[in-house]
């Protein structure tokens, strides 16, 4: 409530509006493209790169901006992983959403299968997360924990940590990452 009162006072004193303050929820994350605030509903792209092991590209719409947690929902996923050398993983699946927080967290949600080839192990991976700089571009190095699936060999660990994929949330018009600020 203090933030709302402060915004009203600023508005009455100098006529400026307050940005970056969500009513009662702490600071808001603001995504911009070409210096302008991006409206919800704008087309977006996302990318999840597993180094030489493959890249997922997905498209959808920005569903929230100027909130403590901004988000995008995706309706299509292209690409995948594989072909990164002997013993490298094969990654399949789809990405559903990206959520970015005013605290600098970059969260990717979907249904991925991470399959190793030397030891036949399959892991289900539904979330990856990492940090990103604010202010800065909407890109992060993310990681997640895969849980063993039933089609795996007997020597497979129950979980495996997947580290270092690179994720971005990009403007659908330019293909460049958004700029994030508070």
Q: What is the pTM of this model?
A: 0.83
DSSP3 helix / strand / coil % (the chain, rounded to 5):
10, 60, 35
CA distances from 30 to 14, 65, 66, 69, 161 (A): 22, 6, 5, 9, 31
The answer on pLDDT for 94 being more than 70 is yes
Q: How confident is the model at residue 20 (pLDDT cuts 50, 70, 90)?
A: very low
Q: How confident is the model at residue 41 (pLDDT cuts 50, 70, 90)?
A: very high
Over residues 114-138, the pLDDT tens digits come to: 988 888 899 999 999 999 999 999 9
């Amino acid at each position: 409530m203090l933030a709302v009162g402060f915004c009203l006072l600023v508005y009455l004193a100098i006529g400026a509006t307050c940005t970056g303050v969500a009513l009662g929820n702490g600071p808001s994350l603001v995504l911009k493209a070409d210096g302008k605030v991006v409206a919800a509903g704008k087309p977006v792209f996302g990318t999840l790169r597993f180094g030489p092991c493959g890249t997922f590209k997905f498209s959808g719409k920005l569903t929230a901006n100027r909130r403590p947690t901004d988000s995008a929902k995706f309706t299509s996923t292209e690409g995948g992983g594989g072909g990164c050398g002997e013993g490298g993983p094969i990654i399949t699946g789809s990405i559903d959403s990206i959520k970015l927080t005013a605290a600098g967290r970059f969260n990717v949600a979907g249904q991925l299968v991470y399959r190793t080839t030397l030891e036949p192990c399959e892991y289900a991976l539904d979330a990856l997360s990492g940090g990103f700089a604010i202010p800065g571009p909407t890109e992060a190095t993310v990681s997640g924990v895969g849980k063993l699936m039933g089609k795996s060999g007997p020597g497979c660990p129950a979980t495996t940590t997947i580290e270092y994929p690179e994720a971005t949330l990009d403007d659908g018009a330019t293909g460049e990452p958004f700029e994030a600020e508070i």
